[in-house]
Amino acid sequence: MDWLTEVLASQPGCTLVFRRPGGVRGIITANPANVEHILRAGFDNFPKGPRFASLLHDFLGRGIFNADGEAWRSQRKAASYEFNTRSLRVFVAQSVHSEVHGRLIPLLRRAVSSGQPIDIQDTLERYAFDNICRVAFDHDPGQLPDGDGDGDIDGASLEATARSRFADAFRDAANLSAGRFQYAVPGFWKIKKAFNLGSERRLRESIAIVHGYADRIIRSRREEMSMGCEKHDLLSRFMASQSESYTETALRDVVISFLLAGRETTSSALTWFFWLLSSRPDVERRIRDEVAAVRARRARADLGNAGFDLDELREMHYVHAAVTESMRLYPPVPFNTLNTQAADVLPDGTAVGAGWFVAYSSYAMGRMESVWGEDAPAYRPERWLDPAEGTFRPESPFRYVAFHAGPRICLGKEMAYIQMKSIVACVLEEFELVVNRKYRPRQVASLTLRMADGLPVRVKARGN
Ligand code: HEM
């Protein structure tokens, strides 16, 4: 990613053109004007395209993440409506609250008592999977143990084993599907698939487990709903509003796309955030001051000592800025590729042909001095704050492209901020996460930007 950033910064218009005779042709850009053209003005000319769809079809079917044209448009319309309801935001905040206080904080307290380091990336990934499963289809895969530390994944219960198999199979299916993008000979996976060999055999097996499990949940949800049971998760909302037009397979595709979108994104963002913070006590101090001020207002209003509600999270402008700034430098989705339908010329004068891939690197864009000024490499949350008011000032989504932009902009952005700000506020209020100063994370980019060896931290209780 750093190498690509350097290369793009040295190109005219920050755009790199690939022209291999008889081979791949396409461009990678870090130019906001090009990105705006591709994602908004030229939206219909730059779909995800047949290659993306075929690589992910076995796992995602025609779910929103993997669909183009009318199949995408109708899901987007229905999903946008649901994501924008206040009742969903409240449900998300409640799920986040119970997972943070029932599981994450108790786990960190146990880490304080034991003195053993933990891998905070792994912990956050488990947290995020539990949370997105709850929001997507009111299911608890129990990836983080319950407060008492025993959890119920003790192997004794068949149900617990099945849930754990589901989570493992989901992780394998996502990783193996992402691996299809990385073959030196692009169609080689199809041959392995035809002969049911190696990674393709494992992919087939893990997809069968995920699909079987999701199908059972969908069927039992139909029964519950036919008996008048009211639920607030996304699957139930889709079933209530679209029951005639959605087959069971279509519902499964929708849910699996949501799980994939919400699974590793917030955990990636927070892992890089806690790593950056470990060398910036000044930023950590300001976050703690802001959280303490909100906590004090809560105490005065006699609202108890639990987590923060939606309005309180909204008041945390500095926390918002600190997390946003971290994703500028380490966007969870660092790279995005689309396909060109008809030849076009981008605003910087680059010509693209029909069938070419068109990619942008949000990682490179977050580091371009031409976009962010000379201090682009510096982690500086203040750049997001109004100097007079101290309130958060959003940037154009075509410059800050961590959540994509245009008609396909991330649907879960607000949900992600609720989750990330709750975790940051509650964790930093009570703990210090200490990272070895010599630790240099290695990046690994599959569908998301992760740390290859995780992020080992020692958890210390705050002294005050
Ligand atoms: C920090 C957290 C997150 C980041 C940085 C992020 C980023 C993105 C990006 C870059 C895309 C475009 C991907 C593509 O088209 O290939 C996207 C799409 C999407 N995201 Fe997120 N996401 C985050 C969290 C979430 C969460 C928690 C959900 C909840 C379900 C979610 C739901 C979606 C959906 C449904 C789409 C597809 C939208 C469409 O194609 O119309 N995201 N997100």
Most confident region among 90-94, 212-216, 286-290 by mean pLDDT: 286-290
* Dihedral, 104, 105, 108, 110 alpha carbons, nearest 10: -110
Q: Work out the pLDDT band at 238, boundaries 50, 70, 90.
A: confident
**Residue 185: band (very low, low, confident or very high) from pLDDT cuts 50, 70, 90:** confident
397 lines ligand 1 (CB under 6 A): no
Pocket of ligand 1, candidates 257, 265, 330, 420: which has the most ligand atoms within 8 Å of its Cβ, to mutate? 265
Contact 66, 259 (CB under 8 A): no
Mean pLDDT value across residues 10-31: 88
- Joined together, the tokens standing for residue 6 give 């350097």
> Residue 52 pLDDT more than 80?
yes
Atom 43 of ligand 1, nearest CA residue: 410
pLDDT bracket for residue 302 (50, 70, 90): low
pLDDT band at 153 (very low <50, low <70, confident <90, very high): very low
Q: In sequence order, what E strands does 158-265 have?
A: none
pTM of the prediction? 0.93
Is 158 or 334 the better-scoring residue by pLDDT?
A: 334
pLDDT attached to residue 148: 64
Helices (H), 382-453: 413-430
How many helices (H) does the chain have, and how many strands (E)?
Answer: 19, 11
Please provide residue 359's backbone torsions phi and psi, each rounded to the nearest 5 degrees. -125, 150
Helix (H, G, I), strand (E, B) or coil at 361: strand
- Ligand 1 pocket, residue 269 CB under 6 Å: yes
C-beta neighbour count of 315 within 10 angstroms: 14
Alpha-carbon dihedral 129, 283, 272, 2, rounded to 10 degrees: 150
Beta pairing class for 357-361 and 335-339 = antiparallel
In 3D space, the residue among 40, 43, 38 whose CA is nearest the CA of residue 68 turns out to be 43
Distance (Å) from CA 182 to ligand 1 centroid: 22
Confidence of residue 206 (pLDDT cuts 50, 70, 90): very high
pLDDT in tens, 263-299: 889 999 999 999 999 999 999 999 999 999 999 887 7
Q: What pLDDT is stored for residue 231 in this prediction?
A: 82
Question: Has residue 73 got a pLDDT over 60?
Answer: yes
State if residue 262 touches ligand 1 by the CB under 6 angstroms criterion. Answer: yes
CB of 402 shorter than 6 A to ligand 1: yes
pLDDT for residue 259: 92
pLDDT at 445 over 80: no
Distance of CA 274 to the CA centre of its chain: 16
Q: What is the pLDDT of residue 156?
A: 47
ipTM value of the model? 0.99
pLDDT reported for residue 82: 87
Distance 403 CA to ligand 1 centre (A): 6
Does 366 sit in the ligand 1 pocket, CB within 6 Å?
A: no
**Ligand 1 centre and the CA of 22: distance in Å?**
34
Alpha-carbon span 189 to 274, nearest angstrom: 37
Which H or E run includes 135?
A: helix 120-137
The single-letter code of the amino acid at 236 is S
Most confident of the following: 91-105, 143-157, 395-409: 395-409
